[in-house]
Amino acid sequence: MKLKTITNKGLCMSEVRLTAENLGFRYAGTPVLRDVNLRAESASTLAVTGPNGSGKSTLLHLLAGVERPAVGVVRRDPGTRVALLPQRTGDIDALPLTVAECVRIGRFSSRGLLGRLTRADRAAVDDMMERLGIAQLARRRLRELSGGQRQRTLLAQTFVQEADVYILDEPTATLDAGSRRRVHDLLTARVAAGAAVVIASHDDEDAARADRILALGRPAEDAARLA
């Protein structure tokens, strides 16, 4: 086992929202993750880096509860609200959703699908679409969007949730420089408000903005551990 790149900007003590201990995962018997440990703290950002095949997306799915670890455990504070932006969301394109409808789904995360959106919910949706530059696309179908427009729509759906932990997989990968700045501004605001952010990215700027970095190696070679 080898400890890889870790940085810390000297934050004061923060509340730990989510921890992972000794996580391991396999696909069809092949190890994808092994002995991974981390913590996500309020008002801070943890960047997960590593080459393709190192298990970044799998780790984020484990943290969000989409997958179950083969070994180890993920712990969240009771009542912790988690918002996930997965990297692969192709299935959503098959739904006849408009941009506005897709973003509104994010507000149902705390109300249930049978709940009703309030005036405040609709205002939050409108504000988030404006901040990500997609307000003019409100009535467009998802399948009609460019890659960057679609990504900003899914980001709006994620950020419009009132989450304690935001787990984001390659959030800026298909975005131009202006859109990346919008996303970084939103991340800064969420962290300032006390949220924990876990972000997997190949973008050096994303990693440079993080308070801590967990660097994953290929499981067959080594496993990363965050102290």
Average pLDDT over residues 193-197: 97
Write down the pLDDT at residue 89.
Answer: 64
In the structure, what pLDDT confidence band is assigned to residue 202 with cuts at 50, 70 and 90? confident
What is the three-class DSSP state of 189?
Answer: helix
Statement: residue 26 has pLDDT above 60:
yes
Of 85, 86, 75, 47, nearest to 224 by C-alpha is: 47
What is the three-class DSSP state of 164?
Answer: coil
Q: Letter for the amino acid at 90? A: G
What is the model's pTM? 0.87
Q: Are 4 and 224 in contact (CB under 8 A)?
A: yes
Token output for 28: 């069809």
In sign, the C-alpha dihedral spanning 224, 38, 31, 71 is: positive
Domains of the chain: 1-81+163-227 (3.40.50.300), 89-162 (no CATH)
Q: Are 5 and 49 in contact (CB under 8 A)?
A: yes
For the stretch 104-118, pLDDT in tens is 999 987 665 556 889
Statement: residue 67 has pLDDT above 60:
yes
Q: Which residues are 31's β-sheet partners?
A: 26
